[in-house]
Structure 1
Amino acid sequence: MKIMSEFGKNAPNKVFISLMLGVSAGILYVGLIPLVLSSLDELPGIMYTDSAPAELFGYQISNLPIAFAFFSLCLLILIFRTVSQIMLTAVSLNLTMKVRENLYQRVSSSPIDVLEKIGSPRIINTMTMDVRRIVDGASMAPPMLVSLATVAGMMFYIWIENSKVFYFVCSALLVGVISYQIPIFIGRKYMLRARELMDELQEGFRGVILGAKELKLNRKKKDNFIKDELLAVESKIESTNIRAETVLTSAMNYGDMIGFFAIGLLAFVYVNYEQVSNSELIAIIMILLYISSPVGAILSAIPVFISANVSYKRMEEIYAEMVDEDSFDEELELPCWQQIQLKNVTYTYNDEHAFKAGPVDLTIKKGQITFIVGGNGSGKSTISKVITQHYYPTTGHVCFDDVQINRSNINSYRQTICSIYSDYYLFKTLHGIDLQCPKVNAKIHQLIKDLALDGKIKFENGRFSTTKLSDGQRRRLALLVAVMEDKDLYVFDEWAADQDAVFRKVFYEQILPELKQKGKAVVAISHDDRYFHLADQIIKFESGLRV
């Protein structure tokens, strides 16, 4: 299974040692039964001692050498299994972190349009549920190998006792294991369906949380949403999981009894056709009783492996969709640029709508304010994401002065850009800013006052005391962060849309002119025509085209 290769690659030495200790414990288990059997008389059930009991620590002990060997094996098994499991736990926890780290890197290196297409519910489900199931499945392998080693050793002992009985028991166990796979296959189908439904439910979670205000104002919408998009999916998940658990639980209980079925067939059927001595029968039945638990453990691990395999496939599907940008990650030393040019640029969404923006030609210069205007769906936000290098143009070129953007320099030029889109995320910590400089801290506190955030938040030790603010306050705090990042290009997507008149005035008449005065290139997507006179150029879009 592929998940085991991930487990082995993460810490091969520790996994190898853990497996060896576990297998050694399984082999040592094999020695316990012969030692116990060696203390039985030829008459079944009668204990005997071949000499007077020895005395140790005031207790009488029969067959002291055998007893010593027995308890020594028990102690070694305890030590080997404990050390094996502790090492495996450490590897499992580290693997969890490594798998998530890999997923973080995949997400951060994927194009924005790809992430938008995949959707956050699927990615979050993979980060939480799937990663846990994958690690749980991988961590089941070493204990299962211990059980396999135990079963193999015991079966070898049966073969030594009576080869005919060995073949009979193997046949009985094989039939049991094969028949066990039928409900497992059915249960796997149900688990796959339940996993798909969880992605749907995740989207419903977002709706009930992020759309709480809208649902409060429309009872029918709320009732229908909860009924059709939450409870209906919950009901499907419940029924699917019940079916899966019913089938898998039945299978696991059946797996626990396979060993006993073999004992019953041997004790009540096989002895009528083949000659088996009492001593052999007792020894073999004891061994079968002993391996019933390992066999059950092996079969019980199969559903965990199946669940892990389902989650692994889901993660691989997301990885397959997360096409790497194939961009050069190391930051290059860039020449100082004065303008950005879009030359015959188009961008086409690769979805069922296939909306196309462009072809567009435009120039944005430093020390100028550019307003982009247009109706909803006109393409202004799409083109702005091409400007900020979030979208790579389908055709055409973006140039910073005479330098054309390509995969080798796009990440470096991104570092000169700051944007606030409608779906911005507000980080609580100010990253990438020199907070040791007194002027920087003074500027932050001044902006907090200018944006009327004093009394709402505090800035201490590089962190804001809270980001749980109103929409307008959050947007003003995002503006503060953007100003402090001190980039060369600023793009604001309808920043003032939910601000009152006072803060619109601050934004248009104070913040934007200050950025312009500092020689920044400023692009504002806006409908505020009363401030259009502040723009050095106004670019209008309609149906994806500049007009």
Structure 2
Amino acid sequence: MNLIWLLLQASWVNVAIAVLTGLISGGCSARLIALINSAVNEQSTNNLLWYFVGLAVVALLTSVISQVLLISLAQEAVYHLRLRLSRGILSSPLRHLEELGASRLLATLTEDVQTLSNTIFVIPFVCIDVAIIAGCLIYLGWLSGVVFLIVIVFLGIAIASTQFLLTRARKFLSLAREEQDRLFKHFRAITDGVKELKLHALRRQAFLSDELQISAATSRDHNLTAFKTFAIATGWGNLLFFTIVGLLIFALPQLTTVSPAILSAYILTITYLLVPFQNILERLPALFRANVALQKVERMKLALASQKETNNTTEISTTNWNKLELDQVTHTYRGEQEDSNFVLGELSLTLYPGQLVFIVGGNGSGKSTLAKIITGLYVPESGKIRLDNKLINEENLEWYRQHFSAIFSDFFLFERLLGIENASLDQQAQEYLQKLHLNTKVQVKDGLLSTTALSQGQRKRLALLTVFLEDRPIYLFDEWASDQDPYFRDIFYKELLLNLKKRNKTILVISHDDRYFHLADRVIKLDYGKVEYDSSYA
């Protein structure tokens, strides 16, 4: 039912048309069976020929129309689902996304949505099969109410017994999907930690045997149990079908008086129904997997919606501002255990245009957390942020963020210079590449970078290209110079940062490079989430 609802969300009108044409196709197919049965029992079939041809053509056309409509709806539904999920992720608070975890998000965006995309195309064929079954059952009821009642009772028993197996299979599919989240986490560990695993044989062996292998085996076992159960259900369903035919041939004539013509029509129709019933049974595993995937997607959508931010960019960010205030701001970083919470604050800071501010402190002192609060990526749990006495809240948080350009330690580098409206973008980009000593490595054409496959230090310099082109009033650099050689580290601190300062930009630099602290207007040192000192460097 969830899959049908997904299609209805795309267009209930088209679903209605598809269902109607599918029912017509099923009705025509049932009528064809009746016509064949009549032809078998009549000596002359000349007057039935064109009737047969007409029914066959209508059945074919309505079947094609129904399938084309449903296939289009299915692909449209998956398309909109992908966009809604992506927008939901982008409109959720960063902290909430970090709590959900990248592995879980990726599993939903890739595994679940792809499962839906691969499976949802079978829905049209299932609908046609259901329509054929419905039409044939109506025909059987018209032939003989008594025989139809006997067949329906037996079918009810058969469906109930098969449903028990299907419910069990679906349970194991759900367990396999839950294990898939853990598998994705292990796959990320392989790609992100490949160097560490290669350098430590015992760690690699322990990871494979104690982590990945156990998770993969659990997923395999759940899937095996599910699909074995589906196979048993399919075999059981086929057996029951032939049992019905056997009962009609051998048992029914002993119980009640049935004309040979009606009995022949029943046997012919039920034999014909075997194909659509088998089709449905064979497609049930894929449909159940898609239903489990859709449930995961819906849970993800609910999790994202529960923490949704207001995206409001109607206001233009200001380039002329006087002060940015953090007033008694606090933020709690919750660990996996209750006693491992890290509290930042209370912090009160005021930043001004044209300042070069170094944020320093030991590892775990709260520097990166403070950077995310200042840039609006984390929302303070208490305290206030004001820009020129304008209180920053949910309504204007998106506007506030547009004042910042940042390169975090775990930055991402896009292959295209997105969102930068500049008629001379390529020319300006090439000029910056020259300053960054990357002009021999990277070219820009129509805003597209020729490559991002560079060393980490060069990738960080390429990230500078993006933030320089954005030309925003406040810049943040989180341990930017840590991967640079001494020569370019000097250029960064003594030329690039000072050039930004001359342009009245505010620059926040998280750094351990104490030999450059004298260049700062202010040095703010954090220690366990508190400001140890905030002073001009002397």
In structure 2, the residue matched to 1:340 is: 324
SS at match of 1:295: helix
The answer to whether the Cα contact below 8 Å between 1:420 and 1:492 also exists between their aligned partners in 2 is: yes
TM-score by length of 1: 0.92
The answer to whether the Cα contact below 8 Å between 2:357 and 2:522 also exists between their aligned partners in 1 is: yes
**Aligned residue runs from structure 1 range 349-428, under 5 A:** 349-352=333-336, 353-428=340-415
Distance 2:50 2:309 in 1: 64
Q: Which of 110, 117, 127 is the matching residue for 1:128? A: 110
The answer as to 2:516 corresponding to 1:534 is: no
Where structure 1 has 5 or more consecutive residues not aligned to the other structure, the ranges are 42-47, 51-62
SS at match of 1:208: helix
Q: Which of 459, 462, 467 is the matching residue for 1:477? A: 462
1:433-459 Cα shifts (integer Å, max 9, x gaps): 23422xx54442232223222322211
**Aligned residue runs from structure 1 range 433-448, under 5 A:** 433-437=420-424, 440-448=425-433
In structure 2, the residue matched to 1:39 is: 39
Distance 1:116 1:500 in 2: 32
| 1:366 Cα deviation after fit | 1.1
SS at match of 1:38: helix
1:385-414 Cα shifts (integer Å, max 9, x gaps): 000000011000111121110111111111
SS at match of 1:314: helix
1:267-297 Cα shifts (integer Å, max 9, x gaps): 2223222222222211111111111222333
> What letter is aligned with 1:27?
G
Cα distance, 1:123–1:328 mapped onto 2, change above 3 Å: closer
TM-score by length of 2: 0.94
In structure 2, the residue matched to 1:519 is: 504
Distance 1:164 1:380 in 2: 80
The answer as to 2:48 corresponding to 1:66 is: yes
Q: Could you say what the CA RMSD is over the residues aligned between the two structures, in angstroms?
A: 1.8
In structure 1, the residue matched to 2:203 is: 221
Deviates more, 1:309-318 or 1:407-416: 309-318
Cα distance, 1:514–1:105 mapped onto 2, change above 3 Å: same
The answer to whether the Cα contact below 8 Å between 2:93 and 2:378 also exists between their aligned partners in 1 is: yes
The answer to whether the Cα contact below 8 Å between 1:255 and 1:300 also exists between their aligned partners in 2 is: no
In structure 2, the residue matched to 1:58 is: none
1:162-217 Cα shifts (integer Å, max 9, x gaps): 22211111011111111001111111111111111111111111111121222222
Q: Which of 506, 514, 523 is the matching residue for 2:491? A: 506
**Aligned residue runs from structure 1 range 66-465, under 5 A:** 66-135=48-117, 139-322=121-304, 323-334=306-317, 336-352=320-336, 353-437=340-424, 440-465=425-450
Cα distance, 1:39–1:92 mapped onto 2, change above 3 Å: same
SS at match of 2:351: strand
Distance 2:298 2:12 in 1: 22
Identity level (%): 34
Distance 1:65 1:246 in 2: 50
> What letter is aligned with 1:382?
T
| 1:142 Cα deviation after fit | 4.2
Cα distance, 1:15–1:275 mapped onto 2, change above 3 Å: same
SS at match of 2:379: coil
Distance 1:328 1:31 in 2: 57
The answer to whether the Cα contact below 8 Å between 2:317 and 2:402 also exists between their aligned partners in 1 is: no
1:111-165 Cα shifts (integer Å, max 9, x gaps): 0111111112211221122123345665544433333332233223222322221
The answer to whether the Cα contact below 8 Å between 1:95 and 1:135 also exists between their aligned partners in 2 is: no
Deviates more, 1:137-146 or 1:348-357: 137-146
Q: Which of 496, 499, 507 is the matching residue for 2:481? A: 496
| 1:483 Cα deviation after fit | 1.2
Distance 1:221 1:475 in 2: 30
Where structure 2 has 5 or more consecutive residues not aligned to the other structure, the ranges are 533-538
1:215-257 Cα shifts (integer Å, max 9, x gaps): 2221222222222222222222122211111111221233344
SS at match of 2:208: helix
Q: Number of residues paired by the alignment?
A: 527
The answer to whether the Cα contact below 8 Å between 1:107 and 1:115 also exists between their aligned partners in 2 is: yes
SS at match of 2:40: coil
The answer to whether the Cα contact below 8 Å between 1:359 and 1:545 also exists between their aligned partners in 2 is: yes
The answer to whether the Cα contact below 8 Å between 1:134 and 1:308 also exists between their aligned partners in 2 is: yes
> What letter is aligned with 1:31?
R
Deviates more, 1:84-93 or 1:510-519: 84-93
1:302-350 Cα shifts (integer Å, max 9, x gaps): 4333222211221122122213444242321455312211100001134
The answer to whether the Cα contact below 8 Å between 2:426 and 2:446 also exists between their aligned partners in 1 is: no
Q: Tell me which stretches of 4 or more aligned residues in structure 1 moved more than 6 Å.
A: none
In structure 1, the residue matched to 2:535 is: none
Cα distance, 1:492–1:334 mapped onto 2, change above 3 Å: closer
In structure 2, the residue matched to 1:546 is: 531
In structure 2, the residue matched to 1:55 is: none
Distance 1:424 1:374 in 2: 21
1:442-483 Cα shifts (integer Å, max 9, x gaps): 442232223222322211221111111111111111112111
SS at match of 2:88: helix
> What letter is aligned with 1:484?
L
Distance 2:68 2:437 in 1: 54
**Aligned residue runs from structure 1 range 1-20, under 5 A:** 1-20=1-20
| 1:79 Cα deviation after fit | 1.4
> What letter is aligned with 2:200?
N
